[in-house]
C-alpha cells in the first residue's frame, strides 16, 4: 500500500493549520526541519511541531535536516511526531539515537543524502522503521528529481527484503506524477511530495492521484 506524505515545505507557513487540513486524506504530513547548518535553509522547529500536532489528526513525519540530531531528535518524538527521520551524515551514534526515538514511541528513520550509500548502514536496518532516500540535494522544495538515485532505491529495497524486514522505504524530492511510478517500480512505498501536492489546485485530489499512480506501478512491478 503506497503512502503519500505531503511536505508542508511547499505550503503557506502563515496558514499551516488550514494547509494541514487541506490534505487530510494523506497518510502522514511531512515536516521539513532545517537549521541553516546541515542545509543552507532555515524552516521550523519544535514549537511549530507541537502546535501542528494539535491542529491535525494526520500523523507527523518529521524530517530533520539538522546538525546534532543525537541531541534534538528525541524531543521531536516527545513533541508528537509519529515518525522521526535523522540524517546518517549528521548522527554521531545512529543506533543509540534510533533506540531513543523508538523508546519515546515514534518510528525511527534514517535519511541518506544523494551521495551517501546505503551499504555501510546495512547492519543498522533492524534498528529502523524506515529509510529515506533523498532524490534531490536536501534544503529546498521544488527541485528536479534525480534519476540517478533509482539504483540506490532498488539496492535498498533488495537489502530490506534480503533481511526479511518490514521497513518502509521513503523517497523525498521532486516526486510528482511524472516521477512517482519510477520510484514505486524501484521499490519505494512512502512518497513525499511538496510542490506536486501544494502546487496543485486541489491538494487532496493530488494526493489521491499520486497514490493511484504509485499503486498501479507497484502492482506492475510485482506481476513481472
Q: Which residues are annotated as a binding site for a divalent metal cation?
A: 30, 32, 63, 172
How far CA 32 is from CA of 27, 67, 122, in Å, comes to 16, 14, 25
Q: Which of 2, 4, 7, 56 binds ligand 5RP (CB under 6 A)?
A: 7
Strands of the 29-34 sheet, one edge to the other: 3-6, 190-193, 168-172, 130-134, 107-112, 83-87, 60-65, 29-34
- Residues in the interface with ligand 5RP (CB under 6 A) total 23
- What residue 139 binds from Fe ion, ligand 5RP, none (CB within 5 to 8 A, per partner kind)? ligand 5RP
Terminal-to-terminal C-alpha distance of the chain: 18
CA atoms within 13 A on the CB side of 174: 20
CB 218 within 8 A of CB 184: yes
Q: Which of 193, 200, 207, 214 binds ligand 5RP (CB under 6 A)?
A: 193
Site residues (CB under 6 A) for ligand 5RP, limited to 21-80: 30, 32, 63, 65
Residues 32, 35, 61, 189: which is the catalytic one? 32
Smallest distance, ligand 5RP to C-beta of residue 164, A: 29
CB 139 within 8 A of CB 34: yes
Residue nearest to ligand 5RP (CB): 194
Residues 27, 35, 61, 172: which is the catalytic one? 172
Cα angle 49, 54, 57 (rounded to 5 degrees) comes to: 100
Mark residues 44-83: x for contact with Fe ion by CB under 5 A, - for none.
Answer: -------------------x--------------------
**Residue 172 falls in the annotated catalytic set:** yes
List interacting residues with Fe ion (CB under 5 A): 32, 63, 172
Q: Known catalytic residues?
A: 32, 172
Amino acid at each position: 500500500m503506497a503512502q503519500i506524505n505531503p511536505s508542508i515545505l511547499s505550503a503557506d507557513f502563515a496558514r499551516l493549520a488550514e494547509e494541514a487540513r487541506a490534505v487530510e486524506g494523506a497518510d502522514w504530513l511531512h515536516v521539513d526541519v532545517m537549521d541553516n547548518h546541515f542545509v543552507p535553509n532555515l524552516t521550523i522547529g519544535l514549537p511549530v511541531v507541537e502546535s501542528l500536532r494539535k491542529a491535525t489528526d494526520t500523523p507527523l513525519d518529521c524530517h530533520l535536516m539538522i546538525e546534532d540530531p543525537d541531541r534534538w531528535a528525541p524531543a521531536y518524538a516527545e513533541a508528537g511526531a509519529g515518525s522521526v527521520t535523522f540524517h546518517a551524515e549528521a548522527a554521531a551514534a545512529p543506533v543509540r539515537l534510533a533506540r531513543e526515538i523508538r523508546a519515546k514511541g515514534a518510528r525511527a528513520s534514517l535519511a541518506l543524502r544523494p551521495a551517501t550509500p546505503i551499504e555501510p548502514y546495512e547492519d543498522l536496518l533492524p534498528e529502523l522503521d524506515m529509510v529515506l532516500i533523498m532524490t534531490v540535494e536536501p534544503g529546498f522544495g521544488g527541485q528536479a528529481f534525480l534519476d540517478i538515485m533509482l539504483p540506490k532505491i532498488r539496492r535498498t529495497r533488495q537489502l530490506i527484503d534480503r533481511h526479511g524486514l518490514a521497513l518502509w522505504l521513503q523517497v523525498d524530492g521532486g516526486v510528482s506524477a511524472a516521477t512517482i511510478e519510477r520510484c514505486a517500480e524501484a521499490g519505494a512505498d512512502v512518497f513525499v511530495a511538496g510542490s506536486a501536492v501544494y502546487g496543485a489546485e486541489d491538494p487532496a485530489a493530488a494526493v489521491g492521484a499520486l497514490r493511484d499512480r504509485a499503486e498501479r506501478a507497484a502492482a506492475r512491478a510485482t506481476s513481472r
